[in-house]
Amino acid sequence: MQLCRMTTSVHWQNTEFLLSVADAQMFPETDLPQIAVAGHSNVGKSSLLNSLFGRKGLVKTSKNPGCTRLLNLFEVDEKLLVVDLPGYGYARAPKSEKYKWAKLIESYLQSPKVAQLVLVLLDFRHGPKDSDLQLIDWLNESGIRWQPVATKADKLKGNARRKRKQEMLDALGGLLEPVLTSSLKNEGMQELRAIIIDEVLKTHD
């Protein structure tokens, strides 16, 4: 009997952009396990992916909200599919655009090809907003696993950081501890990679 588990190794830098889809129906047929990155517009989803992959500039980012407008698919080391979702809650986007993005996110999250794990990104400074809590409720009701990820953690230091982490944990119901990350400082990426391997890749073996 084998007592120790094989370690799943992933070469994160070996990531390539696959395609963008404007409709969840156009999602490719794939047997690869899948994760998705969701969160408010401008929270730092695309930046986090660059940092997670260790590939500066692979994913397009912008200081202006509403940068990602399609489902952008990436394949990591021929082992994992990662979906960068458009952000929600960008108040100044035209109504028709907002509706289109919301429909796209909704149709993806309701499709049978949905991710096994959704990283829910929350700005560390502001904590979860109503729209984040709605998404989380919906994921819970749909039985889709999710992991809270606090972004832009470089903006808070010392005591403020500890206090905010506890506040975020409480606001999320106290069950899932957020991973604190900074794409700017490459903070939290090892922890996040380990969670993805444990939650998605090992269970898929």
Ligand X SMILES: Nc1nc2c(ncn2[C@@H]2O[C@H](COP(=O)(O)OP(=O)(O)OP(=O)(O)O)[C@@H](O)[C@H]2O)c(=O)[nH]1
Q: Are 81 and 33 in contact, with CB atoms under 8 Å apart?
A: yes
Q: Which of 58, 102, 154, 177 binds ligand X (CB under 6 A)?
A: 154
Interface residue with ligand X among 67, 144, 169, 176 (CB under 6 A) is 67
Contact with Mg ion (CB under 5 A) among 46, 51, 72, 116: 46
Please state, in angstroms and rounded to a whole number, the distance separating the CA atoms of residues 56 and 5.
Answer: 32
Residue type, 121: L
Q: Does 176 bind ligand X (CB under 6 A)?
A: no
Q: What is the DSSP letter of 182?
A: B
Q: Are 134 and 40 in contact (CB under 8 A)?
A: no
Nearest by Cα to 118 from 93, 92, 137: 137
Candidate list 34, 50, 68, 183; residue touching Mg ion; CB under 5 A: 68
Q: How far is the CB of 37 from ligand X (least distance, A)?
A: 8
Binders in 115-134 for ligand X, by CB under 6 A: none
In this complex, which beta carbon is closest to ligand X, that of residue 75 or of residue 123?
123
Dihedral sign, Cα of residue 86, residue 177, residue 201, residue 136: negative
Binding site for ligand X (CB under 6 A): 39, 41-47, 61-63, 65-68, 86-87, 151-152, 154-155, 182-184
